Amino acid sequence: MFQQLRTNLKQAVLGQEHVIDHLLIGLLSEGHVLLEDRPGTGKTTLAKSLANTLDAKFSRIQCTADTLPTDLLGMELFNPLTGSFEQRFGPLFANIVLVDEINRTTPRTQSALLEAMGEAQVTIGDTSYTLPQHFLVIATQNPFDGQGTFPLPHAQLDRFLFKLSFAPLDRQVEKALLQGAHLQPSPFQVPLEQLNTWKQEVQAVTIEDAVEDYLLDVCDALRAHRDVEIGPSPRATLALLQAARARAWMHDRTYVTPEDIKQLANPLLAHRLVLTLEATLKMTNGRLVQQILESLTVPTEV
The reply to whether 18 and 120 lie within a common domain is yes
The reply to whether 91 and 214 lie within a common domain is no
Summarize the confidence of residues 89-99 as an average pLDDT: 94
Q: Where are the alpha helices (DSSP H) in 204-271?
A: 209-224, 234-250, 258-269
What pLDDT score does 185 carry? 58
- Tell me the per-residue pLDDT of 175-209, one tens digit each, with 9 for 90 and over: 887 877 555 556 778 898 999 999 999 999 999 99
The reply to whether 274 and 173 lie within a common domain is no
Binned at pLDDT 50, 70 and 90, residue 62 comes out as very high
- Tell me the per-residue pLDDT of 121-139, one tens digit each, with 9 for 90 and over: 998 888 899 999 999 999 9
- Tell me the per-residue pLDDT of 13-35, one tens digit each, with 9 for 90 and over: 888 899 999 999 999 999 999 99
Tally the domains of the chain. Answer: 2
Nearest Cα residue to 71 out of 80, 62, 79: 62
The reply to whether 27 and 161 lie within a common domain is yes
The reply to whether 224 and 76 lie within a common domain is no
The reply to whether 134 and 7 lie within a common domain is yes
What pLDDT score does 183 carry? 56
CA gap 100, 61 in Å, rounded: 6
- Does residue 190 form part of some domain? no
What pLDDT score does 171 carry? 87
- Does residue 73 form part of some domain? yes
The reply to whether 140 and 243 lie within a common domain is no
What pLDDT score does 75 carry? 87
CATH of the domain at 24: 3.40.50.300
Q: What is the residue range of 47's domain?
A: 2-178
CATH of the domain at 216: 1.10.8.80
Q: What residues have CB less than 8 Å from 147, skipping those under 6 apart?
A: none
The H or E element containing residue 124 is: strand 121-124
Find out whether 1 and 190 touch, Cβ atoms under 8 Å. Answer: yes
The reply to whether 150 and 6 lie within a common domain is yes
